[in-house]
Amino acid sequence: MSQMSNKNKKVVQNLAKSISKEVKHFNKIEVEGLIGEYEVLMQDMSNYGREVPGLERGKFRSKLHSMFGITHDIIMDGVFKTFDKDNDGHVTMREWIEGLSVFLRGNMDEQIKFCFHVFDLNGDGYISREEMLQLMKNSLILATEEESEEGIKDLVEITLNRMDHDHDGKLSFEDFEKAIKEENLLLTAFGPCLPDYKSIEKFEQRVFYVQLFQ
Contacts to Ca ion by CB under 5 A: 120, 122, 124, 126, 164, 166, 168, 172, 175
In the complex with Ca ion, the residue whose CB is nearer, 83 or 116, is 116
The nearer residue to Ca ion, 26 or 80, going by C-beta atoms, is 80
Cβ proximity to Ca ion, 95 vs 175, nearer residue: 175
Question: Minimal distance in Å, beta carbon 92 to Ca ion?
Answer: 25
Q: Is 53:96 a contact under the CB 8 Å cutoff?
A: no
Compute the least distance from the CB of residue 6 to Ca ion, in Å: 50
Cα angle vertex 67, ends 142, 100, to 5°?
Answer: 105
In whole angstroms, how close is the CB of 205 to Ca ion at the nearest point? 37
Residue whose CB is less far from Ca ion, 100 or 171: 171
Residue 130 CB, nearest distance to Ca ion (Å)?
Answer: 8
Beta bridge partners of 126: 172
Compute the distance between CA of residue 128 and CA of residue 170 in angstroms, rounded to an integer. 5
In whole angstroms, the minimum distance from the beta carbon of 165 to Ca ion comes to 6
Tell me the C-alpha distance between 53 and 34, whole Å.
17
214: CB partners within 8 A, 6+ apart: none
Dist. CA 14–CA 67, nearest whole Å? 27
CA 107 to chain centre: 14
What's the chain's length in residues?
214
Indicate the residue among 124 and 149 with the shorter CB distance to Ca ion.
124
